[in-house]
Structure formats: C-alpha cells, structure tokens
Amino acid sequence: MRYEIGGNAFPIVTCFLENGEQMITESGAMVWMSPNMQMETSGGGIGKMFSKAISGESMFQNIYTANGNGMITFGSSFPGQIKDLHIEPGKEIVVQKSAFLASEPSVNLSIHFQKKLSVGLLGGEGFIMQKLSGNGMAFIEIDGDLVEYDLKEGQQIVVSTGNVAAFDPTVQMTIQQVAGIKNKLLGGEGFFQTVLTGPGKVWLQTMPIYSVAMAIKPYIPTNNK
C-alpha cells in the first residue's frame, strides 16, 4: 500500500491500493475514492463492539476493499495534521481514544486502560485510551500542530490531559494536582495535570477540540426562555 498525506489546515491521506488490499476506518472518515472500492460495515464481534462502546468509539467499522487497483482518501475532522505510524510487533503505540483515523486491517485497535486508579478517577479522558498493535500502517488525527518529545529514562513532562495525542507503551502516565488553592480556582488550568515519564516517545497536540470548545462557549448565544 502506497500513501500520500496532503492538504493544509484540514489534512487528508490518500491510500493507493492494489487488487484485494484493504483499509479500515471507525470514524466514517472517507472523503472520496475510486468507484472500484467496495465498502463493508462490520462490528468485529460482540467483544470488540463492547470494548468500543466503553471507549466511546463507534461500535462498527468500515472495511474498504480494492477490486483492482484503486485509491481511497480519508480526511481529518478538525484542523490539524495526520500522523502516519508504522506499527509492528514490539512497537505498539497508545493513542487518545478519538485520534484513530484509518489503518491497514493487519493493525489491531484495542482498549488501553491506565493501570493506576488515580488516573482513572482524576484523569478524565486519559483513563481510557487505545492501543495500536499488530503489523502495518496506521493514521491518527492530530488537533492543531504536532510536537514530539523523546523522553529518557525517568525524564518527565507535565501536560494538560487533552494535549496528549499518543505515546509509546513504555511511557508511564500519572496524574498530579495543581499546587495551591488559588492556582486551582483562579489559574484556569483545572485541578489536575498529566505527568508523562520516560523512557519513550510522546506526541503532543497544540489545539485539542475540548479546549477550543471551552474557549468559544462564552460567545455562543443561549436561548433563555
């Protein structure tokens, strides 16, 4: 499978498939394709459907198969970037649950729970993430710009939870409180922050959808009756 990533604020990835090759998406992200692409919707079994429901993803996935050489294009749902990831055994990637865009069928998408209870109780969306494993190409959506860090053993970075896009499974994710009552109430950064500890690579996004929604919320008229 050959692919090209293009576009500007709203990026796309075009995949060129040979006869019989397939692509999978769970987000309904197809924007155009050649007429010889055949689509089939599948739930992937009761177990997978249940896990998708827990993670907030659609319980169904679309499988596109090329009947002869064909092409299919997937588009992002928010201004940002599309990141290509080569997944192989021993090189799994943990991603934010809304980040997955599309992949080859040989890539497995599963739930990744944070091990520490504090992350689950306090970390919000950071508790349930997704793991990409298997062997093949996968594409994820990045909200805004993409910043990468290679953390050394024990090296840490403190991040607002929504800005975490993906990280290596070797990276540990924990939650810490913002210090000081005044900082919590008046600082505008919330009560908790995410701490990522190396070793491993982390991918951060500069403009998560949630932050944008909160920024424009005061300017949305309300219908008070």
2-217 adopts what CATH topology? Double-stranded beta-helix (3.60.160)
Nearest to 103 by CA among 88, 81, 120, 117: 88
> How many residues comprise the chain?
225
Q: Cα dist. 125→56, 83, 121, 163, 181 in Å?
A: 10, 21, 10, 11, 23
Average of per-residue pLDDT across 66-70:
97
Q: What element of type H or E holds 70?
A: strand 70-75
pLDDT per position as a tens digit, 121-130: 444 444 578 9
pLDDT per position as a tens digit, 157-193: 999 878 999 999 999 998 887 665 644 444 445 567 8
pLDDT band at 151 (very low <50, low <70, confident <90, very high): very high
> Where along the chain do its domains lie?
2-217
Residue corresponding to tokens 């424009």: 216
- Rg of the chain on CA atoms, in Å: 19
pTM: 0.82
DSSP 208: -
Range in 30-39, 64-73, 192-201 the model is least confident about? 192-201
pLDDT of residue 121: 45
Q: Cα dist. 119→64, 163, 177, 188 in Å?
A: 36, 15, 11, 20
The torsion defined by the Cα of 52, 109, 26 and 33, in degrees rounded to 10, comes to: -170
d(C-alpha 157, C-alpha 196), whole Å: 5
Does residue 85 have a pLDDT over 70? yes
d(C-alpha 139, C-alpha 132), whole Å: 10
What backbone phi and psi angles, to 5 degrees, belong to 63?
A: -110, 120
Q: Please classify residue 199 by burial: count the beta carbons closer than 10 Å to its beta carbon, then call 0-12 exposed, 13-18 middle and 19+ buried.
A: middle
The angle formed by the CA atoms of residues 139, 144 and 145, to the nearest 5 degrees, is 80
Does residue 21 have a pLDDT over 50? yes
pLDDT band at 208 (very low <50, low <70, confident <90, very high): confident
Both tokens of 220, joined, read: 């949305």
Is residue 89 classed as helix, strand or coil in its secondary structure?
coil
